[in-house]
Amino acid sequence: MTDSVIDVTTWRERLADLEASEVSAAVVVQCDQAWLRPDLTAFRNEVDQALMTAQLRRGDRLTITRIILHNLPLAPATVHRSTALDRAFGEWHHRLSAAGVLLCPGSRPAPRIHRLILRGDQTRAPIPDMVELLKNGDWTDQHRADLVLRTVETTGATPLTGYDMDLDGPFGDADPSIYM
């Protein structure tokens, strides 16, 4: 399971470090379409599980900022995308939304999953996939972490997320994807 974009070994090492008390924050970007390949489904699920477990175990001692794609790009020369890719994308979003709703009890911080909106002329996300950790006040890669945090703070880059709205309000019975 080797991929030029996704270094599985590094991801596993950093995800394992989420349990360490010296880690207080993580930024996670999963915007490459490689995450939707069938051969990476098990690893994608492993990442999801590790992030949810760390959030549950560490609570407010760990802040996770995660970015995934809001929409899949369509290359200018391509009229249609693979239906398998669309299915994998929809399934992943639905699962993350449902997990986010289940992990949002009032006493714990909600998982912060931001969905990056790609413009119609973009075929790739402007930020690379990564998992960077804040250990003892220092990021594993300060430049990359800053890039992610600036993107999240950019108006219009990510749509409303669950922590931006009252989950008990008028949207409470809607499709779980609005909670992302």
pLDDT digits 0-9 by tens, 119-143 = 777 778 888 999 999 999 999 999 9
Give how far Cα 175 sits from Cα of 43, 98, 116, 161, Å. 26, 9, 19, 13
Give how far Cα 62 sits from Cα of 4, 27, 49, Å. 29, 11, 15
Nearest to 127 by CA among 46, 30, 59: 30
Angle at 177 between CA 82 and CA 146, to 5 degrees: 85
**CA–CA separation, 14 and 115 (whole Å):** 22
Q: What is the mean pLDDT of the chain?
A: 79
**CA–CA separation, 112 and 95 (whole Å):** 15
Residue 67 near residue 117 (C-beta atoms within 8 A): no
**CA–CA separation, 169 and 59 (whole Å):** 24
Q: Label residue 93 by pLDDT band (50, 70, 90).
A: confident
Q: Label residue 146 by pLDDT band (50, 70, 90).
A: very high
Predicted TM-score (pTM) above 0.75: yes
